[in-house]
């Protein structure tokens, strides 16, 4: 069996696809994603373990590990290790990188073979018969979740993003909250986003603690001023220049100056 020694130092970055797929990520998450792409490419796009990802991203706390896991579950394929003692451990591969590595390996192998037989192949000989792979969304592994999160998830009108990551964020920030209350807040937020393509992932929404902003972001109710003249309640019906025009229930007219602070006068 031929030993694989190919290591392509240049990683082609498809900027249009990369920008479109990462527009919702924070700067930290984009940096983590680039680190993991480069790390995977140097390993010939082979599977790597979760602990390797933490090491390459220099994680020293749980918050960093959660960010790394968020990127892994969204952009990488998780493969469960078939070992009864390690039944909760996964390895990760990136579908696009695996396809690109196979594509380049076949391309340069064809060129090498052509050169060995007496001449280099034409520049388009290998590439003309090969089509660069199209990116396919990575499947998201399922995970066990606690009953409170299960109820929260079932009440959401839009279940966007990784359920596994949302469970992690929920346990971290909302374990003592009423799941219906949190789901109602997310649903209120989702109803304000017209284009659901720009709706935040549930895990992102929880991680940013945007459930705390729901109540404070509601518009404040400004009470209407109450007008009275010697115990008689008056209703505003017009504004004329510097005066507010008022009437009582019998149709009598009154005026109040907007700024001078003088009491209401009967007209």
Residue 112 has a CB neighbour count (10 Å cut-off) of 12
For residue 190, being part of any structural domain is answered with yes
Residue 161 makes CB contacts below 8 A (sequence gap 6+) with: 74, 201, 202, 203, 204
For residue 179, being part of any structural domain is answered with yes
For residue 139, being part of any structural domain is answered with no
The pTM of the full predicted model, rounded to 2 decimals, is 0.39
Q: Are residues 254 and 163 in the same domain?
A: no
Mean pLDDT of the chain: 79
Q: Are residues 166 and 233 in the same domain?
A: no
Q: Are residues 31 and 107 in the same domain?
A: yes
Helix axes 179-191, 147-154, angle to 10 degrees: 30
Q: Are residues 162 and 189 in the same domain?
A: yes
Cα–Cα dist 48/50, whole Å: 7
- The domain tally of the chain equals 3
Q: Are residues 166 and 123 in the same domain?
A: no
Residue 244 makes CB contacts below 8 A (sequence gap 6+) with: 227, 236, 238, 255, 256, 257, 258
List the domain range (segments joined by +) for residue 153.
147-216
40-54, 99-113, 141-155, 173-187: the lowest-pLDDT one:
141-155
The answer to whether 174 and 145 have CB atoms below 8 angstroms apart is no
Q: Are residues 114 and 44 in the same domain?
A: yes
| pLDDT score of 73 | 86
At 68-79, the pLDDT tens digits run 888 888 888 888
**Which tops the pLDDT comparison, 11 or 144?**
11
Residue 252 has a CB neighbour count (10 Å cut-off) of 13
Q: Are residues 94 and 195 in the same domain?
A: no
Sign of the torsion angle spanned by Cα atoms 30, 32, 33, 35: positive
For residue 191, being part of any structural domain is answered with yes
Q: What CA–CA distances, in Å, run from 154 to 118, 150, 181?
A: 65, 6, 13
**Which residue, 129, 164, 183, sits at the end of a domain?**
129
The answer to whether 168 and 107 have CB atoms below 8 angstroms apart is no
Q: What is the mean pLDDT of residues 158-180?
A: 88
At 170-196, the pLDDT tens digits run 988 888 888 898 998 998 888 888 888
């Amino acid at each position: 069996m031929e030993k694989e020694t190919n290591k392509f130092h240049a990683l082609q970055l498809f900027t249009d696809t990369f920008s479109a797929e990462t527009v919702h990520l924070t700067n930290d998450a984009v940096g983590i994603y680039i680190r993991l792409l480069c790390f995977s490419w140097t390993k010939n796009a082979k599977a790597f373990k979760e602990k390797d990802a933490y090491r390459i991203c220099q994680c020293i706390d749980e918050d960093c590990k959660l960010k790394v896991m968020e990127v892994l579950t969204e952009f990488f394929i998780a493969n469960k290790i078939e070992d009864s003692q390690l039944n909760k451990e996964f390895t990760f591969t990136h579908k696009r990188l695996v396809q690109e590595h196979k594509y380049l390996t076949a391309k340069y192998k064809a060129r090498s073979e052509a050169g060995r037989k007496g001449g280099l192949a034409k520049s388009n000989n290998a590439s003309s018969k090969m089509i660069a792979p199209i990116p396919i969304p990575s499947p998201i592994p399922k995970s066990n979740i606690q009953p409170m999160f299960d109820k929260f998830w079932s009440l959401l009108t839009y279940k966007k993003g990784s359920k596994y990551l949302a469970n992690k964020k929920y346990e971290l920030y909302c374990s003592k909250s009423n799941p219906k209350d949190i789901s109602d807040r997310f649903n209120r937020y989702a109803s304000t986003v017209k284009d659901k393509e720009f709706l935040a992932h549930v895990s992102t929404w929880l991680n940013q603690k945007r459930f705390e902003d729901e109540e404070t972001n509601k518009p404040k109710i400004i009470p209407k001023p109450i007008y009275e003249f010697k115990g008689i309640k008056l209703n505003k019906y017009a504004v004329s220049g510097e005066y507010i025009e008022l009437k009582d229930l019998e149709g009598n007219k009154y005026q109040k100056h907007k700024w001078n602070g003088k009491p209401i006068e009967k007209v």
